[in-house]
Amino acid sequence: MSDEVIAELRREIDALRARVFELEGAQRAGSEAAAPATRIEDARVSRRNLLGKAGAVAAAGVAGAVVGSGARAQPAGAVNGDPLILGGAAVNECTFATALLIHNYEDAYGFAVLDTGGPNPGLGYISAYSRKRASGKNMPAFRGDAEASNAFYGTATNVPALFGTCTGSAGVQGNCTGDGPAGVIGASTTTTGVWGLAMKNGIGVLAQSTGGPGVDASSSSGYGVHAVSGSSYGVYGESTSSYGVRGRSSNSTGVRGETSGSGATGVHGISGSGAGVLGQATSGPGVYGAATSGDAIRAVGGTGRGLYATADGQAAVEGAAVSGPGVTGTSSSGYGVWGDSQDLYGVQGTSENSIGVFAVSTHDRGLRATSGGREAIEAIGKSYGATFQGKSAAVKLVPQTTAGKPTSGSHARGELLCDKDGVLWFCTAGGLTGGTWKKVSLV
């Protein structure tokens, strides 16, 4: 024991002596038959019996107060150097730090708080167990309230600073009702700020909100949310009226999904009636997919659209790939890729060194285009406008339903057609009443 602690205890003893003498004087004034009070020996106290004498003096002071007042004993508050007083209106005060030192004891808790009738808390320096109460007034095992700082703050080197487990609810739950940033904040300089682990069919981190985002994550240089799963979804979002998962970014990707397995999906969206994955952008791509060997973007729809994207001034869907298709669409009975536009291209494919749009079909047409007002297909090339090659023939002209040249309607120079009888006609001058046609003679 240090000399400072001994000096403090001596000061406490002197104060208790003064109180005892005061109480003894009041007792003698109230009773003439009272015996003279015995003074406590004013001598130096050894380190061995210093604490014992301090407890004895404290007990004498309390006893004198009881005799002098004639009232029932009331719990007194402990001060520096006194034992801990429990129950009633006891207030334990001190002006020095209080420490509980545990030496070579690792089989149970160091300091525990638990309900009567409940099981003992688990291993820990400070442990608490809150049992289920029949009255329904259940209390948390640990609770912290703070106005301007952290209610709970933990730091750790290689393990979680705050770890919570639960069998039927949340292991860790944080509520924020004011203007604070969040109910639970996880911060880390080199590893994970908040880490949730679910062993079987549970959810590692569950976020629910009635008005705002369930999870709001921001990052200056890395991922706002990084989720990894061995056999299921890394991030799973569900909503009844809004977005299940929403990502925002000022300079990079709002939502990014990665997968290394064959046939797996980086981002998978499912919807019963709306869009499974919705991408919107004011200046960049609404949905951007990149792949090194597989599909950059792959959408599959049952009865609705596999992928639906809208954009104001840029491409609604943009796909880029190193060696595979940038965008691929498959369908069992409908369109694999459907593009719709009022004023611009419904589907546009660009390539620097290869084919801009490539269409392949096993049993039907590789590419089919229809138009209600103008050409179904317009081809403009630096050398040839179009190159045709076929096993049976390079080009097939579907015969008209009438014989002879057209005699009505708007036509333009350069048109070529095959009439009902298989005769070829070429338009040499356009016009609104049929134009000028010449028969092509085949030798």
List pLDDT tens digits, range 58-97.
Answer: 333 333 333 333 333 344 455 666 777 777 667 777 777 8
Of all residues in the chain, what percent carry a pLDDT higher than 90? 13
Averaged pLDDT, 202-230: 72
Q: How far apart are the first and last CA of the chain?
A: 123
d(CA 144, CA 151): 5
Q: Note the pLDDT of residue 263.
A: 66
Cβ-in-10-Å burial (0-12, 13-18, 19+) of 279 comes to buried
d(CA 54, CA 303): 86
Averaged pLDDT, 385-407: 93
C-beta separation of 80 from 8 below 8 A: yes
Averaged pLDDT, 379-403: 92
Query: DSSP letter string over 179-238?
Result: S-S-SS----SSS-SS----SSSS-SS----SSS-S-----SSS-SS----SSS-SS---
Of all residues in the chain, what percent carry a pLDDT higher than 70? 71
Q: Note the pLDDT of residue 427.
A: 96
Question: Parallel, antiparallel, or unpaired: how do β-strands 278-281 and 126-129 relate?
Answer: unpaired
Q: Note the pLDDT of residue 57.
A: 37
d(CA 412, CA 415): 6
Q: Note the pLDDT of residue 419.
A: 96
Averaged pLDDT, 16-26: 61
Choose among 351, 345, 295, 348: nearest CA to 324.
Answer: 295
Distances (CA, A) of 362 to 138, 263, 359, 366: 67, 22, 10, 8
- Classify 6 as helix, strand or coil: helix
C-beta separation of 337 from 327 below 8 A: yes
pLDDT in tens, 422-434: 999 999 999 999 9
C-beta separation of 193 from 186 below 8 A: yes
What is the C-alpha R_g of the chain? 43
C-beta separation of 419 from 401 below 8 A: no
Q: Residue written as tokens 């150097």?
A: 81
Q: Which two tokens stand for residue 210?
A: 């009635």
Averaged pLDDT, 226-233: 72
Q: Which two tokens stand for residue 347?
A: 């589907």
Higher-pLDDT residue of 10 and 369 is 369
Q: Residue written as tokens 């700020």?
A: 193
pLDDT in tens, 22-47: 565 555 444 444 444 333 333 333 33
Q: Note the pLDDT of residue 161.
A: 78
Q: Note the pLDDT of residue 100.
A: 77
Q: Note the pLDDT of residue 403.
A: 95
Q: Note the pLDDT of residue 53.
A: 42
Q: Note the pLDDT of residue 20.
A: 67
- Which amino acid, residue 441? S
Q: Residue written as tokens 């060696």?
A: 323
In sequence order, the β-bridge partners of residue 88 are: none
* Residue 357 clears pLDDT 80, i.e. is over it: yes
* Residue 221 clears pLDDT 90, i.e. is over it: no
pLDDT in tens, 144-165: 888 878 888 888 787 777 777 7
To the nearest whole number, what is the mean pLDDT of the chain? 73
